[in-house]
Structure 1
């Protein structure tokens, strides 16, 4: 029997913070205007010169506090998932089904880290949350050391148990972003996270049943 540690999730607290943040809206980029003479197209409402070129940047920078907190919190959360996956890929005697999952998690989440980092830069927001603030569904230092020390089947089972909890916390935060966020790209990523990680939770639970 695998001696795994059941992890208590308190992601509800961070989700509540996201909900409160959603009540505040961040600054939107100003729309571009034009002083050139009107043309047939520009005489139509909403079709002034420069409108098409300015709409894309405006959409990219439009965000609120919930979007900012989502990106700031999900970046380190994803980084930890990648770190956990790399641990499994460096170990010996890990079932192929688990190393395959770890490979897919790393491949999916590493690019998302780059995407969210780019958003924060575009939004002129800090890349990190406030000092001492983390998503409560992340593994603690002791959890990470336990995973690092584990070997073989025991390591695989612990990885699956920890990653189920990790994914559940990410889904809660993503769902809050979907309901409270403003930036279309951030909301779309949140929807993708929910879809992908719900499927992976089911996969991991099925794998755990075989240990």
Structure 2
């Protein structure tokens, strides 16, 4: 009986030993799989590269926020000066859409770890080479509108951005009411939109960033459409 018991004990010990070794092997294999997964993940996951502070994307985000803010100010002013439902609704749409876009660009700069204020004069980014290294013509080329005065000329960093209304025009708008306010608002906003489209087109010519390109193209599409609509409203008041 002793020999039988010893054999059974030896068999049990052998099985236990194999079980322990198997568990150790499984554990080691699991660790190796995790390690391989991490290495593969690092190799296959694309590295996110954010725009630099002097890039076209950063310059566009900063300058277009300023450009949008003036449009919002003009829109809110005319809503107080008119009772016309079409102009009032247009002004509301401009203020809300451009406010949302300005917030999006503000958030981009935060995400990119860049200051909201540019270290270089405004519009400097618009003098950067285009992607195809060709000479860029920012002049408007829309059949439904006239060209922006000076469009296509070389930009001088630090000067007034395309389409921006003067301080005198803004002050004048605040003194008018009714049709007079509507006519000045539409005149100023048409020029302002043309400038905004020009700036957005300049970005498209200089960027491969999908998010920024999507916004720039949406600005081109929406503001080009609004230019046509505002031209019709202005003609009806002439």
Query: When the two structures are superposed, what TM-score results if normalisation uses the length of structure 2?
Result: 0.64
Q: Is the 8 A contact 1:67 1:181 kept in 2?
A: yes
Q: Is 1:37 matched with 2:71?
A: no
Equivalent residue for 1:182?
208
- Return 5+ residue gaps in structure 1 as ranges: 1-35
Equivalent residue for 2:62?
72
> How far did residue 125 of structure 1 move?
2.1
Provide the C-alpha distance between the structure 1 equivalents of 2:173 and 2:208, rounded to a whole number of angstroms.
37
- Residues 149, 51 of structure 1: alpha-carbon distance in 2 compared, 3 angstrom cutoff: farther
Provide the C-alpha distance between the structure 1 equivalents of 2:63 and 2:35, rounded to a whole number of angstroms.
47
Q: Is the 8 A contact 1:88 1:94 kept in 2?
A: no
Q: Is the 8 A contact 1:70 1:177 kept in 2?
A: yes
Q: Is the 8 A contact 2:162 2:192 kept in 1?
A: no
> How far did residue 50 of structure 1 move?
4.3
Q: How does 1:134-149 map to 2 (within 5 A)?
A: 134-149=160-175
Q: Is the 8 A contact 1:94 1:155 kept in 2?
A: no
Provide the C-alpha distance between the structure 2 equivalents of 1:62 and 1:165, rounded to a whole number of angstroms.
30
- Match of residue 189, structure 2, among 145, 158, 163: 163
- Match of residue 106, structure 1, among 95, 103, 106: 95
Provide the C-alpha distance between the structure 2 equivalents of 1:171 and 1:139, rounded to a whole number of angstroms.
15
> How far did residue 176 of structure 1 move?
1.1
> How far did residue 159 of structure 1 move?
0.3
Provide the C-alpha distance between the structure 2 equivalents of 1:206 and 1:169, rounded to a whole number of angstroms.
19
Q: Is 1:191 matched with 2:217?
A: yes
Provide the C-alpha distance between the structure 2 equivalents of 1:152 and 1:174, rounded to a whole number of angstroms.
32
- Return 5+ residue gaps in structure 2 as ranges: 1-33, 123-157
- Greater RCO structure (CA 8 Å; 6+ sep): 1
Q: Is the 8 A contact 1:94 1:156 kept in 2?
A: no
RMSD: 2.4
Equivalent residue for 2:227?
201
Equivalent residue for 1:83?
73
Aligned length: 167
Equivalent residue for 1:94?
83
Provide the C-alpha distance between the structure 1 equivalents of 2:115 and 2:43, rounded to a whole number of angstroms.
29
